[in-house]
Amino acid sequence: MDGVTPRPAAGCNTVYGVALNYRATLDALGPALNEKPYGAPPKAPVLYIKPANTWMGDGDPIIVPTDIAGVQAGVTLAAVLQRDLYQATSETVLDALAGFTIVNDVTIPHSDFFRPMIQNRCRDRFCAIGATLVRVDAFPSLDSIEMRVWVNGQLRCTETTAGLVRPIARLLADISALFTLSAGDLVLIGAAPNSPVVKPGDEVRMEIAGIGSLQNPVVAAAVGVQ
């Protein structure tokens, strides 16, 4: 496995997340997708941003805000751009990637995906970014990459990229049809369904086959601090 070991903020530009990109997540919403406020299943990627205040690395603590009991730890593959990408096709999009890394897309548990909300996804230390970058050609297939989440040594979640609504190449092409993805951007392809809720005192370890692991303790925010 070839890789480099940058700190999360080194060369990082914008981190984009994608909601509702697993079929299991869409299936769980069921008929609600045809009701208000949705009106229909999404026809384009449902995007949100993980700003710089959320970024941290392997070993850094996930901070649970004082106003909630626990947060969801969502393992996701992250595509890292090495050059700008605009109006690409599924056949050409992978040439713009430096590779993939592992991310813990932390969020406050919620059931409304109509407009991904800042207060649910953008608290401090809500995005742990792995240190290893692995080239695209190191993966035999991008449609069967395995992911796991362990909490306190117990396996709590397993998923593969086979469950994606938009496979990786199509997802990036569809986003590039909306706006330019820039060199240094990260695109989180979608957090695994049934991501476990973790609480202060827990230890979260995520693994993606071919990349490695990402481990973070969970701590409570100090009183008076978000």
At residue 26, the pLDDT reads: 75
> Splitting the chain (226 residues) into consecutive groups of 10 residues, what average pLDDT does each group show?
41 88 77 58 84 95 94 97 95 95 93 69 95 95 97 97 95 96 96 94 97 97 64
At residue 25, the pLDDT reads: 76
Going by C-beta distance under 8 Å and a sequence separation of 6 or more, which residues neighbour residue 27? none
Cis peptide preceding 61, ω within 30 of 0: no
* DSSP result, the chain: -------TTTT---EEEEES-BHHHHHHHGGGGGSTTT-SS-SS-EEEE--GGGEE-TTPPEEEPTT-S-EEEEEEEEEEESS-B-S--TTTGGGGEEEEEEEEEEE---S--SS--HHHH-STT-EEE-S--B-GGG-S-SSS-EEEEEETTEEEEEEEGGGBSS-HHHHHHHHHHHSPBPTT-EEE--PPTTPPEE-TT-EEEEEETTTEEEEEEEEEPPTT--
Contact 195, 108 (CB under 8 A): no
At residue 119, the pLDDT reads: 86
Going by C-beta distance under 8 Å and a sequence separation of 6 or more, which residues neighbour residue 172? 79, 85, 88, 93, 94, 96, 97, 181, 187
For the chain, domains (ranges, CATH) are: 15-220 (3.90.850.10)
Contact 63, 90 (CB under 8 A): no
At residue 1, the pLDDT reads: 30
Nearest alpha-carbon partner for 22 in 189, 176, 154: 189
CA separation for the pair 158, 162 (Å, rounded): 12
At residue 16, the pLDDT reads: 97
At residue 39, the pLDDT reads: 55
